[in-house]
Each structure stands twice: as C-alpha cells, then as structure tokens.
Amino acid sequence: MNEKNINSAYALACERYNELGIDAKAAIKKVLGIPISMHCWQGDDVRGFENADGDLTGGIQTTGNFMGRARNADELRGDIEFALSMIPGRHRLNVHACYAEFNGKKVDRDQLGPEHFKNWIDWAKDKGLGMDFNPTIFSHPMFTEFSLSSRNKKIRDFWIRHTQCTRRIAAAIGKALGSPCVNNVWIPDGFKDIPADRSTPRKILSDALDECFAEKLNPKYMLDSVESKLFGIGAESYTVGSHEFYMGYAVKNQTLLTLDSGHYHPTEVISDKLSAVLPFVPGILLHVSRGVRWDSDHVVIVNDELIAIAQELVRLNEFKRIHIGLDYFDASINRIAAWTIGMRAMQKALLQAFLEPRKQMLDAEKKGDYAPRMIWGEAAKTLPFGAIWDKLCLDNDCPTDTDLLCDVKKYENNVLAKR
Ligand code: RNT
Ligand code: ZN
C-alpha cells in the first residue's frame, strides 16, 4: 500500500476521532504496549519434537495437511521469527513441554528440566520475547483417558511429577527473561459416555493439583494457571476439569484461571466472564481462540466476540493481571499466516476498543438513556479505524493487511515449499 496514502488517510482519521474526543495516536501507543503470548504449537500442528510421528491425543485434533510444517525446533523458531516480523510490537511465546530439545539424551516428561529449554530461552532472550509454558498432558503413552484425575496412582503420579517439573522450568524461564512465566495446566480427562460417578475423579484431581502446586515458587518468576473445558473429542459426556471445577479451585487456591474462548457452550462468551472472575483470582490467562461447531480451535479473526473481549480488556484496564494468549491450530492453511492473522486480529480488536467513544456511551448508560448508548456503539463501527491500523503497521515496519499476502507467499515459496 502506498505510504503517502496511508499518511494522508491517517491524518484525516485522526481529525475525525479528535472531533469525538478520542486520541488515535495514544490508542496506537497503548496497543503497542500490550504483549500477546503467541502459541508455538500452531507451527507444527501440536506435535512437538519428542517423536518423529507422535499422534495427537487428548480430545484435540488438527485437520489439514498444508505443506511446510516445522519439523524441528530450529525450523519452528525460524517460522516464528518470520511471523513476528509481520506482527507489530513486542510479544511473548507460549511453549509446551513437548517442545523440549534433548541434545541426544532423551528423558521422559517427568524428568524434564530447564536445560531442555535452553535453546528456547536463549533465543527468546535474544529476540526480547517473554515466554509462557505448559505441561503437556496428552500425546503420551501414560495418557490413557485420564491423567491427573486417574484412579491409577502410577499414572497420576507420573503426571504430578511432570507438572512439578514444568513449574520449575517456568520459574527458570521467568527468571532468565525477567518477566513472570505463566504455567498453564490443562488436562483432557473425561468420559465419552455418561459416568456412574462424577465426583470421584474431581476429588482425585483436586488432590493431585494440590500436590502439583505444593512447592512454593516465586510469583515474580512463575504463575500457576488452570484451564477448564466443556468437552473434547472422545470425552463428550463428562470433563473432569469443567469450568465450575477450576473456577472453584482457582478461587480457593488463588491460582490464575485460564479462560479459553473455545471452551464454552456456543452462545456462552468469555467477554462476560472477565469482570465476573477477576475480583476473585490473582489473574486470568486468556486463550483467545475461535470455536466453530464442535471445534474450539479455529484461527482467531476479528469478529463480534473478539471485539467484545478487547472492549472488556480495555475497560477493565488490568493488563498486568490479565495475560493475553492465543490458542488454536489449523493445519489446512499456511501456518505462518495463521499465526499472523490471529495475532494481528487481537491487536486490531484492541485498537478498535481503544478508539471507541467510551465516554459518550458511559454517559448515556449512567443516565439510563440507552438509545444514545446504542447510537454511539453503532457509530464506532464505521469510524475510520482501518486508517489508524494501517499507520500502526507502516510505522512498525509491518505490512498492511492488503500487503500481507505478498510477504507470506514469498516465504511459502522460498522456505516452506522446500521442506
Ligand atoms: C485444549 C486446550 C489447551 C490446548 C493447548 C495445546 O482444548 O485449549 O490449551 O489447546 O494446551
Ligand atoms: Zn486452551
């Protein structure tokens, strides 16, 4: 896109926002100050590098066979670097334990240590990225249908040890990078069909989590979070770690709570949950995703719910306590585009939220006069937001939306097609 056109459209757009008392330049600055945790697992279809051909289990699934999946950590880091070059601002990388690098000496997941993530940490430091982390409690012979909630002590203890390892790794990451690393526990445990006993697995899980979290680690370096889910493929009737379970657990034990936007009933939205949950927990981790029918993990795009989430984030103004991360995996399209589209969509939604005629809407609401609130909400949708976004991209050496394709295709031909 022509630079001159971007600049003149921006100047006019600023004036238009200014008429409404909105500072567009300040909005750009605010968006650039918000790090988003990009999930490494979009780049290799959630496979990890422990085995060449590990099957993805745990009720999550990638579909599609687009060329050029990253086959090792170096390729994955290269792809991430390229994606980040098209995403304005400074961000974080969210890594799963199954992305360990063994340097010839493979250990099982209950023996992992920070040394297995040295390359990731050094690389993140070099790039100025923060990092977040996750135990990988799926795609492993010790994961049957149950893990931390298993009645089998041997299985349960294995996953407890694994989770304990990941907390220490997270603390080492946070210390090395100078920013707390959120360690997010998600387990797929559940029943395909109607259980005869819903409470025992939940009791077991609660006790197992207590064991996982028993070691006190410095919140300056790592933060614990727990993630609920409604159902998974093969666990349609009962999920041990349901929303109410983890909300209770997080409130009682003062851990963070992860809200994944794909993990609720189709008309249930996390935008409404942020202000309800935040007063009672030390923080929230967002897994911004996009549910489509049975799938909870489509690429994030700007839609009504994303905008509603961003509006709530801006209105709450608790960016230290609410950690924004993405979580989806689409193997049917260029994976680098998938990352870039999702990250930029989150930023666009935030920008739009910073540009809303907030004062006007609030004034109307306080007076109990709701038509003006609706009029301002509707007006916000046709304000020249795109001109502000284009300028944000231009000033940060990133392609505009219409130029994105050209960059993506070049990398596809030069790098991905050769894999
Ligand atoms: C699965 C959860 C979980 C995973 C990642 C890979 O439904 O959302 O967060 O997507 O841990
Ligand atoms: Zn998630």
Q: Which domains does the chain have, with CATH numbers?
A: 1-22+358-419 (no CATH), 34-354 (3.20.20.150)
- Per-residue pLDDT of the chain in tens (419 residues, 90 and over written 9): 799 999 999 999 999 999 999 999 999 999 999 999 999 999 999 999 998 777 899 999 999 999 999 999 999 999 999 999 999 999 999 999 999 999 999 999 999 999 999 999 999 999 999 999 999 999 999 999 999 999 999 999 999 999 999 999 999 999 999 999 999 999 999 999 999 999 999 999 999 999 999 999 999 999 999 999 999 999 999 999 999 999 999 999 999 999 999 999 999 999 999 999 999 999 999 999 999 999 999 999 999 999 999 999 999 999 999 999 999 999 999 999 999 999 999 999 999 999 999 999 999 999 999 999 999 999 999 999 999 999 999 999 999 999 999 999 999 999 999 99
pLDDT, residue 239, reads: 98
For the question of residue 96 being annotated catalytic, the response is no
342: its two tokens: 């999702």
d(CA 139, CA 143): 7
pLDDT, residue 51, reads: 84
Q: Is 258 in the pocket of ligand 1 (CB under 6 A)?
A: no
Q: In angstroms, what is the span from residue 229 Cα to ligand 1's centroid?
A: 9
H or E stretch at 37: strand 37-39
Counting ligands in written order, which one lies closest to the CA of residue 270?
A: 2
For atom 11 of ligand 1, the residue with the nearest CA is 186
pLDDT, residue 101, reads: 97
In 3D, which of 122, 113, 259, 276 has the Cα closest to residue 184?
Answer: 259
pLDDT, residue 1, reads: 76
Q: In angstroms, what is the span from residue 24 Cα to ligand 2's centroid?
A: 32
For atom 1 of ligand 1, the residue with the nearest CA is 60
Catalytic residue among 140, 263, 273, 323: 263
In 3D, which of 288, 268, 279, 262 has the Cα closest to residue 344?
Answer: 288
pLDDT, residue 71, reads: 96
Are the CB atoms for 321 and 33 separated by under 8 Å?
A: no
Pairing of strands 130-134, 92-96: parallel
For the question of residue 192 being annotated catalytic, the response is no
241: its two tokens: 């770690």
Residue from 186, 230, 330 whose mutation best tests the ligand 1 pocket (most atoms within 8 A of CB): 186
Maximum Cα–Cα distance for the chain, whole Å?
Answer: 68
The amino acid at residue 137 is I
Listing DSSP states for 174-209 in one string gives HHHHTSPEEEEE----EESS--S-SHHHHHHHHHHH
For the question of residue 229 being annotated catalytic, the response is yes
Q: Is 46 in the pocket of ligand 1 (CB under 6 A)?
A: yes
Q: In angstroms, what is the span from residue 213 Cα to ligand 1's centroid?
A: 20
For atom 10 of ligand 1, the residue with the nearest CA is 327
For the question of residue 207 being annotated catalytic, the response is no
Taking the alpha carbons of 243, 249, 250, 252 in that order, is the dihedral positive or negative?
positive
Q: Is 41 in the pocket of ligand 1 (CB under 6 A)?
A: yes
Are the CB atoms for 170 and 218 separated by under 8 Å?
A: no
